[in-house]
């Protein structure tokens, strides 16, 4: 009996030691500071296929563009698609169809999306704002008398994408642009607050019905094409 009892005690001791080591390792991982993302993306971006990012599939895309190439644009798409709860967009110009596809993909997953757009460019030929609205995404146009020239996105209130880049094909492929990507709270939170301020300010419910013609925008012959931004 004494030998059997000794074996049982040793066995329980080994189990307890193993569990203690596992808990200790998990505690160290929890206490270890998480690396905060800080990245700068420069454009124009190399032209490459992004179909595998927008629509993951076991089948290979057969287009003629380079595949499996990491570019500034592909990294931008991945950051946007990393949203798990919300995506706030504050954009002057939005005509890039791949970026629109990314936003629609998030919307189809139930991600809460809010879009603030410049009223003068929201309905210009090539704008994707109408596409977002038709999909059921909440879009508001800036109602101030000054140009809404922001180009930033906030992912899950934790990740900021901000820079000179308009969300247009020309800006991505032809212009010298930049996007700063950061998770630093001291940088992210001011943009979270600014988006909230602009969102409330652009609420059409607070304006009289006589002012609603502000949202009806028609393209005139002397307006610049959105695709040339």
Catalytic residues: 149, 151, 156
Cis peptide before 126 (omega within 30 of 0): no
CA distances from 218 to 120, 126, 150, 214 (A): 9, 13, 22, 11
Nearest to 94 by CA among 42, 180, 165, 45: 165
Angle separating helix axes 97-108 and 72-81, nearest 10 degrees? 20
Phi-psi sector, 156: left (phi>0), alpha (psi -120 to 50), beta: left
Phi then psi for 15, rounded to 5 degrees?
Answer: -65, -45
Contacts of 113 (CB under 8 A, 6+ apart): 86, 87, 88, 89, 103, 106, 107, 132, 137, 138
Which strands make up the sheet holding 86-91, listed edge to edge? 38-43, 177-182, 159-163, 151-155, 86-91, 112-117, 138-141
């Amino acid at each position: 009996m004494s030998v059997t009892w000794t074996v049982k005690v040793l066995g329980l001791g080994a189990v307890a030691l193993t569990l203690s080591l596992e808990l200790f390792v998990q505690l160290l991982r929890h206490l270890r500071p998480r690396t905060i993302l800080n990245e700068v993306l420069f454009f124009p971006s190399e032209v490459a296929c992004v179909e595998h990012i927008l629509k993951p599939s076991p089948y290979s895309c057969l287009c003629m563009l380079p595949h499996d190439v990491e570019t500034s644009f592909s990294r931008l798409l991945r950051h946007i698609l990393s949203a798990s709860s919300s995506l706030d967009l504050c954009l002057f110009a939005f005509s890039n169809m791949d970026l629109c596809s990314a936003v629609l993909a998030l919307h189809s997953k139930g991600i809460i999306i809010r879009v603030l757009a410049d009223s003068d460019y929201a309905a210009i030929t090539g704008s994707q704002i109408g596409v977002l609205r038709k999909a059921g995404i909440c879009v508001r146009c800036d109602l101030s008398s000054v140009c809404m020239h922001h180009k930033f996105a906030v992912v899950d209130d934790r990740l900021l994408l901000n820079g000179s880049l308009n969300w247009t094909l020309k800006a991505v492929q032809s212009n010298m642009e930049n996007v700063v990507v950061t998770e630093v709270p001291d940088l992210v939170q001011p943009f979270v607050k600014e988006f909230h301020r602009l969102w409330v300010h652009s609420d059409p419910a607070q304006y009289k019905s006589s002012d609603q013609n502000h949202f009806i925008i028609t393209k005139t012959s002397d307006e610049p094409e959105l695709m040339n931004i």
